[in-house]
Structure 1
Amino acid sequence: MTEHFHLNTPLLESVSMSKCAGTTVYLKMENSQPSGSFKIRGIGHMCQQLATQSKGVVCSSGGNAGMAAAYAARQMGVPATIVVPSSSPQVVIQRLQDQGAAVKVIGKVWDDANAEALRLAESEGLTYVPPFDHPLLWQGHASIMSEVAASLGPGVKPGAVVLSVGGGGLLCGVVQGLKDVGWAEVPVIAMETVGADCLNAAVKAGRVVTLDDITSEAKCLGAKTVCRQAFEYSQNGETPVLSELVTDEQALHAVETFLNEERVLVEMACGATLAAVYTGLVHRLQQEGRLPTPLRPLLLIVCGGSSIDVEQLNNLRNKLRT
C-alpha cells in the first residue's frame, strides 16, 4: 500500500494576483489532487487508519469529501457508499459512480445526508467517514503546511494564509500545520460566502450556532454548523483567525478571473478564497490594521472542486446574473 493517497501539490507564484495584492501571492494547488481537492489528505489518512479491515466506508458529502472517500476506498479495495443531498450537481454523482461508489441521494442539505450516513454506519457496520469534523482529518490536512514550508525554504514565512471554510476541517488542519512548522503566529483569513457562513455567524454570536438554511450557491461550503474545534481556534488560539465574507457574485467573479488568468477552473467554494485578493479585501484588512503593511507573501490554498464544469459555470452565471 502507498504511504499515502495524496500528492505533494505544486506551489505556484501568481504574477497577476501578486500585482493585485501588492505582495507575492503563492497558490497551493490542491485542485490537482487525484480526487480534485485537498480532502484526500485528511480522508485518505483517516481511511488508512480506520478502514483497512472495514466492510466498507460511508461518507456524507455534497462533493469533495465524497470524491476523496470514494477514491481512497477504491485504492484500498473496500466498498464506498456516498450519501449526497439533492442539491448536489449531476456531474458530482456521475464522478462518484465512476470511482465505483454507490450513491444515495437523501434530503435537501448536507445535514440530512449526514443523518442517513450515520444510520447506515450503525445498521450495516460501515466505517463512518465525516467530511470535516475529526482529528484524523485535521492531521491529514496539516500536511499542506509542511509541504509549503519545504517549498518556500528556510527564512521565508507567509504573511497570511487564505482559505475557505465550509465545516472547518481545512481551517483546523492548517492551524495545526502552522504550529507543526513553527509558524503559529501567522494569521489565517477564513473566507465564506454570504448564506454559507456558519463560522462567521458563530464568531458574531460568540458561540457555535446552526444556520437556518444554506442560501449560497457555494454548495460545498454548505455546512449549517461549523465544527467546534474551528470555532475554538477563531476565539482564542495563538493563530489569529480573521473571519471574512464575500457574496456569491464576488466568488463567481473570482472563479472567472482565475480561469482567465491562471487557466484553471475551480468551484465557487474555492472562489471565496480567491476573492480575498480580487476584491481588495486583503488591502482593507491592512488599512484596518488587522494585517501588517508591508505584508510578507500571501499563501492561498486553492482547495479545488469536483463539482464544477463549463455547464455548471454557465448555470451559476445564469442564476446569479439574471
Structure 2
Amino acid sequence: MPLHIHTPLISSRPLTLRTGKEVWLKLDALQPVGSFKLRGIGAACEAHAAAGKTRFVSSSGGNAGIAVAYAGRRLGIPVTVVVPETATAHARRLIEQEGATLIVHGASWQEANERAQSLLDAHTAFLHPFDDPLLWAGHASLIDEVVREGLRFDAVVVAVGGGGLLSGVVEGLRRQGLADVPVIAVETHGADSLAQSMHAGRRVTLDAISSVATSLGAKQVCAQAFELTRSHDIRSHVVSDRAALAACLQFLQDHRLLVEPACGAALAALYEADSTVLASFQAPLVVVCGGATAPYEQINAWHANAPA
C-alpha cells in the first residue's frame, strides 16, 4: 500500500452555481499530512528506503517537510527537515509532531536548501520539495485516480509554487492520453515566479517572496515546470493575496474544509467575480492541494489586514 490515500472527487455545487460550470474538486487536502505532497514524497521515500538509505533530509517551507517527516515515521527512518525563518510556528510544530529533527535556517527556502545539502552523506537520501522526477511520477497518481473514476474534464486548475505539482499533473495527463487538456497555473502576486518566467521567456528568480502564500515561496520554478510551458497548454493566472485568503474562507464555508493561501490561490480563479481565465471551459477540475501550515486564526488575521 502506498503512503498516500485515494482522495475523494466531488462535484462542487457552490462553485458550479457561482461559475455556471460543472466544477469538480479533487480533495487532496484530505491526505494524512493535509496536502498533496505525500503523493510524490511518499513514493520517493519508499524508493530510497528500498535502495537502502537509512536517513532522510529535506528542505521545505512547511508542507513537504511534514510529508517527509510522516513518511519517515511510517517507514521507521529518521528525518531531518530544514525550514526557512518564514515557516510558520504551526508548520514547525507539525514537523516535530511527526518525530523529525527540525532546523530553522535562512530567510527563504533557497537558504534552507543550502543548509540541508550540507547534511548529506552516503547513507542519506535528500528529498527535494518539488524538483525530482520521483515526486512528479507520484503526484501524477492524482490524475490517474480521477480518470479511473470516469470523470470527463476540460481543464485542470492547479496552484504553482516550485512546480512539482504542475509537473506531476502534466505527467498524469500525458500518461492518460489527455495531453490536449489545458492546465491553469495559478500563483499569488509576490510568489509568481512561473508567470514572470513565462512573460520573460526564461526562468526568472524573484528577489524575494512577498506573498503570505509561503507554500508558493520558491523564488524560481524548477526547470521541468518551465519547460512544460513550451510543450503543454499551460495558462498562467496570478491573483492577489486578498483574493486567495478570501477564497480560503469562502471554501471553508462552502465545503467545511480549511486550506491554506497557496491552495486558496487556485480556488480564487473560480471565486473571483471578474476572473475570465476559465471562460472557455465547461468542466474544470480543481486540485484542492490543501496545506497544513496556516491555522484558521492566521488566515483570518491575514485576510483582515490584506490590502483591498
TM-score, scaled to structure 1: 0.92
The answer (yes or no) to whether the contact 2:261–2:299 under 8 Å persists in 1 is no
Match of 1:204 among 199, 204, 210: 199
For 1:151-300, list aligned pairs within 5 A.
Answer: 151=149, 153=150, 156-235=151-230, 237=231, 239-280=232-273, 283-286=276-279, 292=280, 295-300=281-286
Q: How far apart are the structure 2 equivalents of 1:302 and 1:104?
A: 29
Q: Which residue matches 1:88? A: 87
- CA-atom RMSD, angstroms? 1.4
Q: Letter of the 1:90 partner, please give it.
A: A
Question: Would the alpha carbon gap of residues 18 and 117 (structure 1) be closer, same or farther in structure 2, given more than 3 Å must change?
Answer: same
The answer (yes or no) to whether the contact 2:84–2:105 under 8 Å persists in 1 is yes
Q: Which residue matches 1:77? A: 76
Q: Letter of the 1:274 partner, please give it.
A: L
Q: Which residue matches 1:289? A: none
Q: How far apart are the structure 1 equivalents of 2:206 and 2:241?
A: 17
Q: How far apart are the structure 2 equivalents of 1:232 and 1:143?
A: 21
Structure 1: any 5+ residue segments left out of the alignment? 287-291
The answer (yes or no) to whether the contact 2:237–2:277 under 8 Å persists in 1 is no
SS at match of 1:308: coil
Q: Which residue matches 1:55? A: 54
Q: Letter of the 2:103 partner, please give it.
A: K
Aligned residue pair count: 307
TM-score, scaled to structure 2: 0.96
Structure 2: any 5+ residue segments left out of the alignment? none
Q: Letter of the 1:222 partner, please give it.
A: G
Q: Per-residue deviation at 1:261?
A: 1.1
In the TM superposition, what whole-angstrom CA distance separates every residue of 1:49-89 from its partner, at most 9, and x where no partner exists?
11342231011011110011001100100000010011111
The answer (yes or no) to whether the contact 1:31–1:303 under 8 Å persists in 2 is yes
Spell out structure 1 runs of 4+ moving beyond 4 A. Answer: none
Q: How far apart are the structure 2 equivalents of 1:144 and 1:106?
A: 32
Q: How far apart are the structure 2 equivalents of 1:284 and 1:127?
A: 40
Q: How far apart are the structure 2 equivalents of 1:150 and 1:54?
A: 33
Q: How far apart are the structure 2 equivalents of 1:34 and 1:145?
A: 19
